[in-house]
Amino acid sequence: MTARRALKLTHLFSTTWFVLCVVYVLVLALLQAGFNWWVIFSLSGHSLILVFMLISLYLFALFRGVGGTQQIEVEHPLTSTPAYMGFYVAAPLIGGLAGVLGMAGTEGAGQFMVGVAMGTLGTTFAVWVVVDPLAGMIEMLFPASRQHRAGRLAKAEAERRERHEKRERLLAEALAREEQERLHWQERLQPQAERLAALLAVDADGFEKAEREALDIGAQAWRLGGINCMRQVRDMAVSISKEQRGDAETTDYVSYWWDGVGEWRKPSLV
């Protein structure tokens, strides 16, 4: 059995023992407060799913801490050692053993169990809430730990800046290519845009012919550059029409004429 698997199993057993002691002390306190057994079982039944979810989440988080490589040995020369990690995860079992030794010779099973449970809770609280954070703080005061942490954070910041600069370069290159493509299309499609602008001014008699010719222009734009090219031709045509005839006299028939050409869809009326 590997050391990591042994730590995980030890933590599973110790956490199970810790939960049992908590439940025992809680039930005993409720009984001493005058609650009946049926009330206690009712409360336990309603909260069983919630307790199970919390314990599962807790075990998952702690298993990741035990099984992963979260600790950096240079920064945590004590708390990253197998001996300390074994001591940490076995704290409830050590507390239970201390409670058994402390209550040796005590008459009465109830008092004995209370002493064992309180020894478990007290030791677990002391190790997990007091000793471990304090040990971590002391480790970070070591010159080697501080130097390594500063270097690690500086490296992480440099990598973050490098990723940010890379994204900015890629974005700038994409915008430059898009602008270059737009200028290329604008020069090449100027005649089609002017013709399309003229089609927007046709009367009712020439409307069907104008629509067919507009469809041909839209298909050419789609084959040339897809939906983006179609949008640019349409925008150019509408802009030309507004310059020649004014906003009030310009109606954007193109958006409806081109419905179904490539990926073009007419605007929703809703």
Q: Note the pLDDT of residue 45.
A: 47
Q: Name the domain count of the chain.
A: 2
- Are 134 and 198 in a shared domain? no
Q: Which of 79, 114, 141 is the last residue of a domain?
A: 141
147 found inside a domain? no
How many other C-beta atoms lie within 10 A of the C-beta of residue 48? Answer: 10
Cβ-contact 75, 140 below 8 angstroms:
yes
Please tell me the least confidently modeled range out of 41-45, 86-90, 241-245, 256-260. Answer: 41-45
151 found inside a domain? no
Cα 135 vs. chain centroid, distance in angstroms? 30
- Are 85 and 197 in a shared domain? no
- Are 26 and 102 in a shared domain? yes
Q: Note the pLDDT of residue 165.
A: 93
- Are 180 and 136 in a shared domain? no
Length of the chain: 270
pLDDT of 167 over the 90 cut: yes
- Are 9 and 129 in a shared domain? yes
Domain residues for the domain of 250 are 176-257
